[in-house]
Amino acid sequence: MPQIVVLPHPTLCPEGVVIEAPAGKSVCDALLENDIEIEHACEKSCACTTCHVIVREGYDSLPEPEEKEEDLLDMAWGLEATSRLSCQAIVSDEDLVVEIPKYTINHARENH
């Protein structure tokens, strides 16, 4: 089963963690199922950027982002070339290394 290495995040997982995630599951669901409370203000419907992650390794194993996701990512804080919305990034058969950005753009919750 593929693994997701989550790099340390000051509040969500200060030590970092390695979790297992079956192929076909979204990165967001895998994180939530392993008690990493990544924000997902739109309830994983690809309508916000609060579940933004940066894929440090394994990016090419993910399905290509659709246009809607790319448009939303343009508004994400800390956007990088390997940024994805974790609700849309579906695990394949390769391991991933992801970083959760320190901040999100979320008017309902300030996380500074």
CATH of the domain at 42: 3.10.20.30
Does 70 reside within a domain? yes
The 10 Å CB-count burial string (b at 16+, else e) for 38-62 is bbbbeebebebbbbbbbbeebbebb
Mean pLDDT to the nearest integer, 78-105: 94
Please give the angle made by the CA atoms of 58, 61 and 66, to the nearest 5 degrees: 115
Mean pLDDT to the nearest integer, 53-82: 96
pLDDT, position 5: 98
Give the closest residue to 77 by CA, choosing from 44, 95, 99.
99
Mean pLDDT to the nearest integer, 43-66: 96
Does 36 reside within a domain? yes
Look at residue 64 and give its three-state secondary structure.
coil
Does 106 reside within a domain? no
Does 104 reside within a domain? no
Does 52 reside within a domain? yes
Percent of the chain with pLDDT over 90: 89
Q: Residue 93 belongs to what domain range? A: 3-99
Confidence band, pLDDT 50/70/90 cuts, at residue 104 = confident
Does 109 reside within a domain? no
How many structural domains comprise the chain?
Answer: 1
- Is pTM beyond 0.75? Reply is yes
Average pLDDT, rounded, for the chain: 92
Quick one: which H or E segment has residue 98? strand 96-99
